Amino acid sequence: MILDSFRLTGMNALVTGSSRGMGASIAVALAEAGANVALHGSKSVPLDVIDRVRATGVRHAALAADLTNPENAVGLIEEAIEALGSIDILVNNAGITRRAPAIDFPVAAWNEVLDTNLTSLFRLCQQAARPMLERGSGKIINMASLLSFQGGITVPAYAAAKGAVAQLTKALANEWSARGLQVNAIAPGYMATELTQALQDDSTRSRQILERIPAGRWGSPQDVAGAAVFLASPASDYINGHILVVDGGWMAR
C-alpha cells in the first residue's frame, strides 16, 4: 500500500526549534506518522507542545540548547541520541531574524543570525550524519525560505543565511546521497508565525504580500507539516538536494 511509504513508525526524529510555530507543527506531524520525537527549544519546550506529542503515544523528549552558539549543536545531537537511541530524521527548523536597513545592520546581529541559521545548522548536519552514514540511511530536512531565492528587504543576514542553506543542502546531498542519506529542504512562503509578526502588523506590507500570493492568505504552520512528513518518509527516498517550496503559489507569480 502506498500509504505505508509515508509511515514513520519506529523512526527517531529531532526537530530543532520545535517549541512553537512551524517546528511544533512538524514535530506533532512526525509523531502522528509514528516517529519518536525529540523536541527542542532554546530554553525549554512548552507543556502544550509536549502534550500534543505525548498524545500520539510515541516516545518523546524535550531538550534545550541555545543555537546562537554553534558549539551547542554537538551536545544537542548527543542528548537526542541518548534520549531516543538514534536519530533517523533531523529537521533543522531553528532560526531567528533581525531587521534593519543593510547600511545600518549591526555586525553583532549579522553574526547572531548567521551563527544560528547557518553555522549551527551545518554542525547539526555533521553530527547527525556520522551515524546515519555508518548505517547507510537517514533523512535531513533543512528549513530554507523564499529568501533562498529572493533578497528580501531589511533582512540581509537572514537572506544570506537562507541562500546559503539552500546551497548547503545541495552540497551535502551531492556527497551523501549515494551512501543512503537524503538531504532536502523546505522553503516556506509567508507563514503567520512569530518570526513574521512585524510584517503581519504592517498593514501596507501585509496587503502587498497577500496581493502576490495566489492562495490569497498567509500560510499556517500546519501547511508545512505534510511536506516534512513526505521528506522524512521512505516515499522520498529518490529525492535528493531538492528545495520544496510551500508558498501558496508566491514563486509562480
Give the span between the Cα atoms of 169 and 141, in whole angstroms. 8
Paired strand residues for 14: 38, 90
Contact at 8 Å (CB) between 69 and 115? yes
> Residue 49 is placed in which grid cell?
507542545
Residue 41: CA count within 13 A, CB half-sphere: 13
Q: Nearest Cα to 99, choosing from 199, 206, 213, 211?
A: 199
Catalytic residue from among 110, 122, 158, 176: 158
Give the span between the Cα atoms of 202 and 33, in whole angstroms. 37
Q: Is 238 annotated as catalytic?
A: no
Sheet holding 12-15, edge to edge: 60-64, 36-41, 12-15, 89-92, 138-143, 181-188, 243-246
* Distance set, CA 122 to CA 3, 47, 70, 237 (Å): 32, 29, 9, 22
Point out the residues that are catalytic: 158
